[in-house]
Amino acid sequence: MKPWHVEICDVTLRDGEQTPGVSFTPDEKKDIATRLDAIGVEVIEAGFPIVSVHEKEMVREISKLGLNAKICGLSRACREDVDAALDAEVDMIGLFIAPSDLHLKYKHKKPREVVVANAIEQLDYAVDHGLIVRFGAEDASRTEPDILVDIYRQAAEHKASYVTYADTTGCLTPLEVATVMKDLVPRTPIPIAIHAHNDLGCATANTLIAAELGAFQLHTTVNGLGERAGNARLEEVLVSLVLKGGITRYDLTEIPALSDCVQKYTGIYMPITKPVVGANAFAHESGIHIAAILENPSTYEFIPPEILGLERRFILGKHTGKRALSHILTIFGYHISDEQVMQVLELIKDRSEDKCSINQQVLREIISQVTGEDVINGNTIGENSGCEGRHIC
């Protein structure tokens, strides 16, 4: 398979910080940027420099970290915004306008030709001052494709390096994105960036279908942060690029720690069923599944947990089978007869019916009850037990 031709621009520090109630400290921003760089993210959108003196200084500090990633700042098509980005010493700016009829009427309140001409003037100014320019169309998903192509071609003529297709309101489905990309990519002379919002729950899917059909720069946020329902999720996009797009250059083992620290910094914690980084992403309870996994993990796992530096977990509950229980008991160092295994299994199922979590302590209690031996203070879950020091359930 020929690898997809893409790069990642992570916008956690800008769009992600626009999540209601979220604000990163300078140290948190630098930590996130450093972790993104360790993964191999090519572009980090560090902020919106014109927002405040503090924001501009923070973007400048990230620009000076010496990361491999290019540092980008967001910019309206205003001279003061571009100057603020220059002061922040970024490598790239995301210069944007909103060319849809709706935004022209209610936001810009000017004819499209005037808005575009002014934006091209700011593009020239940014290029003349040595910036890489990504020329963005906000609300592109509600703008006629022919209008976008005309704007994109003007941007290319004035030496923009990318153009952005932003589904600002998250109103598109994957099939709609596919239709758009099949039209725009062949007619646009420079690479297209896809910026997808998640209002319909389609941001990651929309980003991936755009990538498969020729979009180059993919915008993401850690844990899907962002305004309203958020943006395309970095962790899901990266895993998909590796498993579906044939890309091997990203270090996925850095993802779990990055996700954890962003959860801590924001106070926004992931559901246990969250793909890739949820607590149950690599957890199994069904006895049928576990029996097959013990033979070959790919029977019930598409994403190998090892690529993320993680281990699968076997959960004890009402769906557990004898083989799974025997395997877990062996991992924990318990050696009991087959008859006792069945007795332990029956008690596990009984307790699970009462919605009792079969965690480490409960398992010990059950084993003690069956064997008559005190194992309450005995074996513990080791670092390599397959449970990463967490409860079994």
Ranges under pLDDT 50 in the chain: 377-393
Q: Among the residues of 188-309, which ranges form H helices?
A: 203-212, 234-243, 255-266, 287-295
Rounded to whole angstroms, the Cα distance separating 28 from 33 reads 9
Which ranges in the chain are annotated with CATH 3.20.20.70? 7-266
pLDDT value for 333: 84
Contacts of 179 (CB under 8 A, 6+ apart): none
Are residues 205 and 174 in contact, defined by beta-carbon separation less than 8 angstroms?
Answer: yes
pLDDT value for 332: 77
Q: 3-class DSSP state for residue 15?
A: coil
Amino acid at site 209: I
pTM, 2 dp: 0.88
Phi, psi dihedrals of residue 225, rounded to the nearest 5°: -60, 165
- CA dihedral of residues 50, 52, 53, 59 (deg, nearest 10): -60
pLDDT value for 334: 86
pLDDT value for 374: 66
Amino acid at site 384: N
CATH hierarchy code of domain 7-266 = 3.20.20.70
Q: Strand 70-76 and strand 132-137: pairing?
A: unpaired
Are residues 192 and 184 in contact, defined by beta-carbon separation less than 8 angstroms?
Answer: yes
Q: Give the H or E element holding residue 266.
A: helix 255-266
pLDDT value for 357: 66
pLDDT value for 172: 98
